[in-house]
Structure 1
Amino acid sequence: MATVIQIPLQIRFGDIDSYGHVNNVVYLQYLEDARVQLFHTPLGTAAGPGAGAADSFEDLVGAELFTLVGRHEIEYLVPLVFRPEPVFVNIWVTRLGGSSFDFGYTVAERDGSVIYAQASSGIVVVSRATGRPVRLSATQRHALETWLGEDVHFRRRQTAAVSAAPLGAKA
């Protein structure tokens, strides 16, 4: 079973829009906050050969590489209003590629009784020197595999084929 990491986040009054709920773009900030916290959390049992329990995923990436977001998909399910209690971002890995991986998320109550949004992000490991993708190391892959779980099942995902023609081109 995958380890889902649960990150508490406090809703700020400034997160609320004129409709009285958390603005849609703020959810992307919540996802970013959860990713950054996860990347900087000691690996503990997710540490494999070449890493120590006190190392973080950010330590495994090192100074020569960095991670970029290549894609986001988010589905808003229930409006989230201001409250003094934190909301929780659950984060896990849904896919591992050669130089990339995907995170799945829910923004929810601690016990999962209400899910306000679900999302997915595609992350790419990139060389600072070349700006090109770099293959995941065995140590990085081991940590990510520890967090591997199911894909996000979007309720309203469009399944219709999208034309490959550029905008404005005649089909």
Structure 2
Amino acid sequence: MSPVHTLPLQLRFGDEDSYGHVNNVRFLQFLEDARVLLMSRPQPGGSFLDLIDPDQYTLVGRQEIEYRAPLNFSTTPAGVDLWVTAVGGSSFDLGYAVRDRVDTEGSTTSAIAATTMVLVSRSTGRPVRLSGPQKDILSSWAGPAVPFRRARGK
């Protein structure tokens, strides 16, 4: 099984702005939708979200998006590719590619992105170490670094 998961994304007419393409702020919602769908997928032993203690939750620690081409409204679903680029003690990094269609052949990449997620205790607000089973699921989704044109953080 490929570490890259492609999730369909149904665009809405209201996603477009006055310039006639999907507004840049909508892309953050696309990333969140794909992330929640993937982390909710059943796995042997439960989904990633099933493995999170009720006193814990994941928070976005950092996001970066590089826009590459306009994304226009279409009734044909767009696609969001999603994979894990790194797993740390209490955090993990995700990579994304947002394309104008689910099928990769002939599609155009509209944006690439990266998100750092942190597992946090609700009661203390402090980071919590990822468990072995959580790391196992994340590692099974491991893929390449996000190919940003400019190095992250520069």
Corresponding position: 1:82 with 2:73? yes
Residue of structure 2 in register with 1:65 after alignment: 56
Output aligned runs, 1:89-168, within 5 Å.
89-108=80-99, 109-112=101-104, 113-157=107-151, 160=154
Q: Distance in 2 between matches of 1:156 and 1:17?
A: 27
Structure 1 segment 25-40 matched on structure 2, within 5 A: 25-40=25-40
Instruction: Look at both structures and tell me which one has the larger radius of gyration over its CA atoms.
Output: 1
Structure 1 contact 104–151 (Cα < 8 Å) conserved: yes
Quote the sequence identity (%): 55
CA RMSD between the two structures: 1.5
Match of 1:168 in 2: none
Name the CA shift for 1:158/1:126 in 2 (closer, same or farther; >3 Å): closer
Structure 2 CA distance for partners of 1:104 and 1:19, relative to 1, 3 Å:
same
Shift of 1:12: 0.5
For 1:8 and 1:141, the matched residues in 2 are separated by: 25
- Tell me if structure 2 keeps the 8 A contact 1:2–1:148: no
Structure 1: gaps of 5 or more residues: 161-171
Tell me, in whole angstroms, the C-alpha distance in 2 between the residues paired with 1:156 and 1:23.
22
